[in-house]
């Protein structure tokens, strides 16, 4: 099991008048987790575009809301690599509370050249590093 884990605390800003975390914020939590995963393997978000001339763009998101999260909850975002192609990859991102799934997301990211905004193959070193987060399937 090679999931990247990010701890998230829920504050007032994350909640809505229904008393629960506003549904779009789970995408924010997922993006924070991907950002930390990339930092962990040496690719800081603000540096990628600047230094390498490409960036990762969210192309598709599939989100299943299972249970609500609430103020003061201590959550975990578990991120694994689902699949990888030439210029894109998919991340499975599950938000949990006490080991129970609250939200299950499948996020597709595309690598695009900064100037041309067209998909490009991303570096092999990064590919190897992302593979570290692939769920081992024996």
Closer by beta carbon to its own copies, 47 or else 121: 47
Identify which range of 33-41, 79-87, 89-97, 127-135 contacts its own copies by CB under 8 A.
33-41
Tell which residue, 73, 71, 80, has the closest CA to residue 5: 80
E runs forming strands in the chain:
4-9, 54-65, 74-84, 88-97, 100-113
Q: How far is the CB of 81 from its own copies (least distance, A)?
A: 19
Binding of residue 101 to its own copies (CB under 8 A): no
Other Cβ atoms less than 10 A from the Cβ of 91: the count is: 23
Of the candidates 7, 14, 16, 51, the residue annotated as catalytic is 16
What the block records as the tokens of 122 is: 């991303």
Selected binder of its own copies within 44, 51, 116, 135 (CB under 8 A): 44
Judged by CB under 8 A, the chain residues 59 through 88 that form the site for its own copies are: 59-65, 70-72
Is there a catalytic annotation at residue 98? no
Residue among 52, 58, 120, 134 that touches its own copies (CB under 8 A): 58
- Which residues, 6 or more positions from 63, have their beta carbon under 8 angstroms from its beta carbon? 23, 26, 27, 103, 104, 105
Contact between 88 and 45 (Cβ < 8 Å): no
Residue 41 makes contact with its own copies by CB under 8 A: no
List interacting residues with its own copies (CB under 8 A).
Answer: 9, 11-13, 15-20, 22-25, 27-28, 31-32, 35-36, 39, 44-47, 49, 55, 57-65, 70-72
**Which residues are identified as catalytic?**
16
């Amino acid at each position: 099991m090679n999931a990247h884990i990010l701890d998230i605390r829920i504050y007032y800003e994350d909640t809505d008048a229904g008393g629960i975390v506003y549904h779009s914020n789970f995408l924010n939590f997922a993006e924070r987790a991907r950002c930390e995963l990339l930092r962990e393997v040496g690719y800081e978000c603000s540096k990628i575009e600047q230094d390498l001339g490409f960036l990762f763009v969210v192309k598709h998101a599939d989100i299943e809301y299972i249970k609500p999260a609430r103020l003061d909850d201590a959550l975990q975002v578990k991120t694994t690599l689902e699949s990888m192609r030439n210029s894109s990859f998919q991340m499975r991102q599950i938000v949990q509370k006490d080991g129970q799934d609250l939200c299950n997301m499948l996020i597709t990211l595309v690598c695009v050249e900064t100037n041309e905004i067209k998909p490009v193959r991303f570096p092999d070193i990064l590919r190897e590093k992302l593979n570290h987060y692939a769920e081992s399937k024996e």
